[in-house]
């Protein structure tokens, strides 16, 4: 297994380089997973990013949605920590 990280400031071409690298690897026969936070990734790879190309799976995680799903657990930990520290709501 190999891991390649492509980073850079917005507008420098990192999404394009990532997509081209992933497609090239998939075409060469390597099973490839592309994970990107860039909202333009579906436009780069096509309308469907899951199973975008043979040998290539691409996804764009949504951290805001995941944080929202976890909020009840996070809030419970905060309440417990506040209570343990003797902090009361005002």
Q: Considering the domain boundaries, does residue 6 fall inside one?
A: no
Q: Considering the domain boundaries, does residue 8 fall inside one?
A: no
Reported as type and span, the H/E element at residue 84 is helix 63-84
Q: Which domain holds residue 37?
A: 14-84
Domain count, the chain: 1
Say what the pLDDT of residue 4 is: 83
Q: Considering the domain boundaries, does residue 68 fall inside one?
A: yes
Mean pLDDT by 10 residues, the chain (90 residues): 81 87 89 82 58 74 74 84 77
Q: Considering the domain boundaries, does residue 90 fall inside one?
A: no
Say what the pLDDT of residue 56 is: 85
- The whole-angstrom separation of Cα 7 and Cα 21 is 13
How confident is the model over 52-65, as pLDDT tens digits? 567 888 877 777 77
Q: Do residues 85 and 60 make contact, with C-beta atoms less than 8 angstroms apart? A: no
Query: Based on C-alpha coordinates, what's the Rg of the chain?
Result: 20
């Amino acid at each position: 297994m190999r891991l390649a990280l492509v980073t850079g400031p917005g507008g420098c071409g990192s999404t394009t380089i990532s997509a081209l690298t992933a497609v090239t690897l998939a075409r060469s026969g390597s099973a490839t997973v592309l994970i990107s936070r860039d909202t333009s990734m579906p436009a780069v790879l096509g309308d469907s990013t899951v199973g975008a190309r043979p040998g290539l799976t691409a996804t764009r995680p949504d951290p805001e949605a995941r944080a929202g799903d976890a909020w009840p657990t996070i809030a419970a930990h905060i309440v417990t920590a506040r209570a343990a520290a003797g902090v009361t709501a005002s």
